[in-house]
Amino acid sequence: MIIFIEITTFLFGVLICPILAFLTLYKVLKSERYKLGKISLIIICTIFSCFYWYEVQPNEQIIDDNIPIVQAKNLSDKEIVDILIHKKLECYKNRRLFNKDKILDYEINRISDPIKNIEPTTNRNVYYSISYSLKVINSYWNTGNGFAKGLWIKNKSDYYELKKKMMHIH
DSSP β-ladder status, 147-149 and 126-136: unpaired
Q: What backbone torsions phi and psi does residue 134 show, to the nearest 5 degrees?
A: -125, 140
pLDDT (tens, 9 = 90+) of the chain, 170 residues, equals 555 666 666 666 666 766 776 777 667 666 656 666 666 767 777 777 776 766 666 666 667 777 777 777 888 888 888 988 998 898 888 887 777 788 889 999 999 888 766 555 556 678 888 999 999 887 778 788 888 888 898 999 888 888 777 654 54
Distance of alpha carbon 104 from alpha carbon 106, whole angstroms: 7
pTM for the predicted model, two decimal places:
0.62
Boundaries of every domain in the chain? 2-56, 69-162
Q: Which residues of 41-80 are buried (b: 16+ CB within 10 A; e: fewer)?
A: bbeebbebbeebeebbeeeeeeeeeeeeeeebeeeeeeeb
What pLDDT is recorded for position 13? 64
DSSP β-ladder status, 147-149 and 103-111: unpaired
What pLDDT is recorded for position 170? 47
